Amino acid sequence: MRFLHNYFLVLLMLISIFSFGQEEKTKDEKQETKKPKHEVRIIMENFMGRTDVYTNNQVWYSSNFSNPGTYEYYNNRFKYGLGYNLNFNKIGIRTKVFYNSYNETYFDRTKQENNSNAQMLRGSVGVNYRKNFEKVTLFFGVDVSYFKIDLEQIQYSTNLASYPDIHQFTNYNGIGIEPLIGLNYFFSKHFSFSSEIRFIRDVYKGNTLITYENYSGFNTPDYEIDFEGNYSNLGPKGSISLNVHF
């Protein structure tokens, strides 16, 4: 993920620099505040967030396991996606989708190996009100989103005579509502940079199944639980969108 993080940052910088060399505006064009209707967005979010594998271990393993904590951990991870806006003079219709996967191997304080594999999907549709100026557009509105997280985690025991391997499968499904405010800065008529902040309110349901394998001791029954919860956050922790208008 670190490579993809850096790749998208470089891509955004290169296209932004390139956009400076586009067509020069005439005086009449500078006075025109009406913008093109169609907008395609390349989006990065939570690039200022930190990934702490110790925290990852604590929020899911053994008595430290927390479904809300695990959800919060993955929801705040770095992610990238695509969006499309249909913009009228003052009202805009927004859509975006994120699909990201995370694969990690780490060791806890007892030197036990932990593998984590997660897939996250989040899609949204919304509306916003737009105030256009010469190079800047201010907007505020609301998104309604659907999200899904599928998570598999395995802890390999260093002593099978005393402790089993632990397999944990967790899934989350839910909906969210996200009031937002942001701005677009136009480098030229067809290229802009934007950033936004949202108040995220998610409600979710899920299921966790824990199984024990490769254990030479007593049989340990599987453990399964259904859960539900909610989450509120002001975020993301860093938002960059490079936009093409036509």
* pLDDT exceeds 80 at position 19: no
Domain ranges of the chain: 2-18+33-245
Least confident of 10-14, 75-79, 102-106, 238-242: 10-14
pLDDT at 134: 87
Enumerate the β-bridge partners of residue 171.
150, 207
Distance (Å, rounded) from C-alpha 171 to C-alpha 190?
A: 40
Distance (Å, rounded) from C-alpha 146 to C-alpha 128?
A: 18
Across 145-154, average pLDDT:
93
pLDDT at 76: 86
Distance (Å, rounded) from C-alpha 195 to C-alpha 214?
A: 49
* pLDDT exceeds 70 at position 110: no
pLDDT at 31: 45
* pLDDT exceeds 90 at position 119: yes
Residue 55 buriedness (CB in 10 A; 0-12 / 13-18 / 19+): exposed
113's CB contacts (< 8 A; 6+ apart) are: 105, 106, 107, 155, 156
* pLDDT exceeds 80 at position 20: no
pLDDT at 13: 53
* pLDDT exceeds 80 at position 28: no
> What is the dotted CATH code of the domain comprising 2-18+33-245?
2.40.160.70
Distance (Å, rounded) from C-alpha 205 to C-alpha 227?
A: 6
* pLDDT exceeds 50 at position 24: no
| Greater model confidence, 38 or 15 | 38
Rg of the Cα atoms in the chain: 22
pLDDT at 32: 46
Six-digit token pair at 226? 């259904």
Six-digit token pair at 221? 């029954």
Band (204; pLDDT cuts 50, 70, 90)? very high
Across 162-183, average pLDDT:
90
Nearest to 135 by CA among 60, 245, 58: 245
